Amino acid sequence: MTVGIVCEPGEQANEFVFVTPDDTELKTGEFIFYESSVTVENDDGDLVEEKKKIFARVTSREQKRGFPDNFMADPGVSPESVARRLGISTEGVDLYKITATIIGYFDEKLGDFTNPRIVPQPGTTIELASDTDLEEYLTDVDPEEEGSARIGELLHRPPGKTQIDLPIDNFASTHLSVLASTGSGKSYTSSVLIEEMMQPDSRASILIADPHGEYGSLQEMETDDRFQGDDGYSPEVKKIKPEDIHIRISELTVSDLFSLLDDPSDAQEQVLAEAWDELQSGSDGNSEYISTNDLQQKCQEVGKEKGLESSARALDWRIEKALGGDLFHHSKHLSLPELLQPGRCTVLQLDTLDLRDQQMLLSVLFRKINHARVEHVKGRDSELDFPVFTLLEEGHRFAPADGDARSLGILGTILSEGRKFGIGVGIISQRPSKIDDDVLSQCKTQIIMQIQNPLDQDAVKKGVEDVGEDLLDELPGLTPGQAIIAGDSVNTPFLAQIRERYTSHEAESLPATELWTDAWNGQDTEPSGLTEADEEEGVEDRDALI
């Protein structure tokens, strides 16, 4: 479908401007193409000229010609009827100038776009890219093949006309970020991705850190026919409640202990480090099961040996305070086989754990996962002989920009090296500006939804490469479920409408007025001291008298 004619080159080297009489189809982010001859290498290695469709994305629009202003003076009268009354033809009154950025032609061998760096000549006709071309070229995945995640459709195309799939292998190994203001669809979109990863043709092993209890309804997958395999596969969704979450004390490192204790002095650190060393070396028995008591006692012993008794005494209450809660235990812990299995999605419900405990928990778990995967890849015995994907809701809590989180170090290591070892991370956050810059830039696939806050918009612009300003300018105007998808899982960024979930969404806002009304109806509304009229003694008698 021809939509316009090129009139001039754009301001930037790979931009051009075309004119169209109707811009309704040509919203910012829409795809168009023109044809041009480009030099390509054929199968014999010879250079030949071939006609190619050169794709481009609409980046801005302006009206070049429209009705004169005085035709619009009266909002009750349409400009067309003013023109008719004046005997002026309304044909061709509207004319729009559209700027487009060249993406390139799709190179089948590369499986990606190649920019020929040829700007179309004035007079070249511009056509709207077809739905089928876009489905085929925008992402590098065959929807019919295993490992594709049906995420939704193209935002600007009519509903049901396009299908967009993302390659699970890609985003699950090179990490993912889902960034948006609150209520814009982050947990909804992440749940869609999990639904896709738990299908019979993927059977992922997923661990979700869920501080708000938003992912429990994924359990519906267990009985939904869409998720059942012909061979008896059925996804398992395991919810772990906060009271069942424990860290075994022996899994801590000495620097974990330092961070847990309330600002210990140098002498206290010295005593603690030595006591910990001795307990961990197992010289006193079983180094796997260390209790708070064991640690306190050992500190007293070391304190005595070193002449640092007062430091050891001061450590006593600090250790009690740091490890005395329910989270730390001498034997209970979350074992990797309990958490991670193929075809299992484990939801760690962290809602009643405080922030420091959540960070420590994630730090310990990530360390264990990293160790197990490194062991496996190096050919040694391991509890994890399959890749894993971890999804972190409130990602800024675990990788904060100010660096103040126990989990940040190991998370950084996994994000930079996890790909080699089969550990993928998905960071979800409503505050991109509060996430560590390196962490954000290591998430190679980005799903970005409505963002209003200018600081967060700037963080996205900085941390997310290759998403044009034109698309990022759309961020404030997106509605829930609309997203920019960019990064390594796609061949060029685009706007998408995320599909509806198969499972129900648990994180709906509370219907406050309904809850107030229900609560009011449920409460005892009788003023105290009075009884129902018909329960009053003698009432029946009075009625009878009347």
Ligand X SMILES: Nc1ncnc2c1ncn2[C@@H]1O[C@H](COP(=O)(O)OP(=O)(O)OP(=O)(O)O)[C@@H](O)[C@H]1O
Distance in Å, CB of 177 to ligand X, minimum: 13
Distance in Å, CB of 489 to ligand X, minimum: 18
Q: Is 505 in the site for ligand X (CB under 6 A)?
A: yes
Amino acid at 546: I
Q: Which is nearer to ligand X, 154 or 257 (CB)?
A: 154
Distance in Å, CB of 317 to ligand X, minimum: 38
Q: Which is nearer to ligand X, 54 or 451 (CB)?
A: 451
Distance in Å, CB of 498 to ligand X, minimum: 4
Contact in structure between 246 and 327 (CB atoms under 8 Å): yes
Q: Is 183 in the site for ligand X (CB under 6 A)?
A: yes
Burial class (CB in 10 A: 0-12, 13-18, 19+), 171: buried
Provide DSSP, 170-198. HHHHH-EEEE--TTSSHHHHHHHHHHHHT
Q: What mask, x for binding ligand X by CB under 6 A, covers residues 374 to 413?
A: ----------------------------------------
Q: Is 479 in the site for ligand X (CB under 6 A)?
A: no
Of these, 188, 215, 227, 389, which contacts ligand X (CB under 6 A)? 188
Q: Which is nearer to ligand X, 66 or 476 (CB)?
A: 476
Annotate 297-307 with b (16+ C-beta within 10 A) or e (fewer): bbbbebbeeee
Q: Which is nearer to ligand X, 508 or 532 (CB)?
A: 508
Q: Is 171 in the site for ligand X (CB under 6 A)?
A: no
Of these, 4, 29, 79, 185, which contacts ligand X (CB under 6 A)? 185
Q: Is 507 in the site for ligand X (CB under 6 A)?
A: yes
Q: Is 187 in the site for ligand X (CB under 6 A)?
A: yes
Token reading at 217:
């309804």
Strands 31-41 vs 47-65: parallel, antiparallel or unpaired: antiparallel
Distance in Å, CB of 189 to ligand X, minimum: 6
Distance in Å, CB of 287 to ligand X, minimum: 41
Q: What mask, x for binding ligand X by CB under 6 A, covers residues 422 to 441?
A: --------x-----------
Burial class (CB in 10 A: 0-12, 13-18, 19+), 5: middle
Q: Is 46 in the site for ligand X (CB under 6 A)?
A: no
Alpha-carbon torsion 279, 282, 288, 291, what sign? negative
Contact in structure between 249 and 290 (CB atoms under 8 Å): yes
Provide DSSP, 156-172. TSPTTS--EEEEHHHHH
Of these, 186, 318, 344, 396, which contacts ligand X (CB under 6 A)? 186
Token reading at 269:
């650190």
Q: Is 491 in the site for ligand X (CB under 6 A)?
A: no
Of these, 225, 231, 508, 537, which contacts ligand X (CB under 6 A)? 508
Whole-number Å distance between alpha carbons of 19 and 97: 5
Token reading at 509:
């806002």
Distance in Å, CB of 185 to ligand X, minimum: 3
Residue range at the interface with ligand X (CB under 6 A); choices 219-227, 287-295, 412-420, 500-508: 500-508
Distance in Å, CB of 215 to ligand X, minimum: 11
**Residue showing tokens 């939704």:** 152
Contact in structure between 96 and 63 (CB atoms under 8 Å): yes
Q: Which is nearer to ligand X, 147 or 481 (CB)?
A: 481
Name residue 201's beta-bridge partners.
none
CA 117 to chain centre: 34
Distance in Å, CB of 416 to ligand X, minimum: 27
Q: Is 6 in the site for ligand X (CB under 6 A)?
A: no
Q: Which is nearer to ligand X, 116 or 183 (CB)?
A: 183
Token reading at 530:
């009075």
How many amino acids of this chain bind ligand X (CB under 6 A)?
A: 16
Of these, 50, 145, 469, 500, which contacts ligand X (CB under 6 A)? 500
Q: Is 200 in the site for ligand X (CB under 6 A)?
A: no
Amino acid at 401: A
Q: Report the residue count for the chain.
A: 546
Name residue 206's beta-bridge partners.
345, 389
Alpha-carbon torsion 140, 142, 143, 149, what sign? negative
Q: Which is nearer to ligand X, 186 or 298 (CB)?
A: 186
Q: Which is nearer to ligand X, 210 or 256 (CB)?
A: 210
Whole-number Å distance between alpha carbons of 164 and 496: 8
Distance in Å, CB of 111 to ligand X, minimum: 28
Whole-number Å distance between alpha carbons of 228 and 234: 5
Radius of gyration of the chain (CA): 31
Q: Is 225 in the site for ligand X (CB under 6 A)?
A: no
Q: Which is nearer to ligand X, 43 or 508 (CB)?
A: 508
Contact in structure between 166 and 192 (CB atoms under 8 Å): no
**Chain residues that interact with ligand X, rule: CB under 6 A:** 180, 182-188, 430, 480-481, 498, 500, 505, 507-508
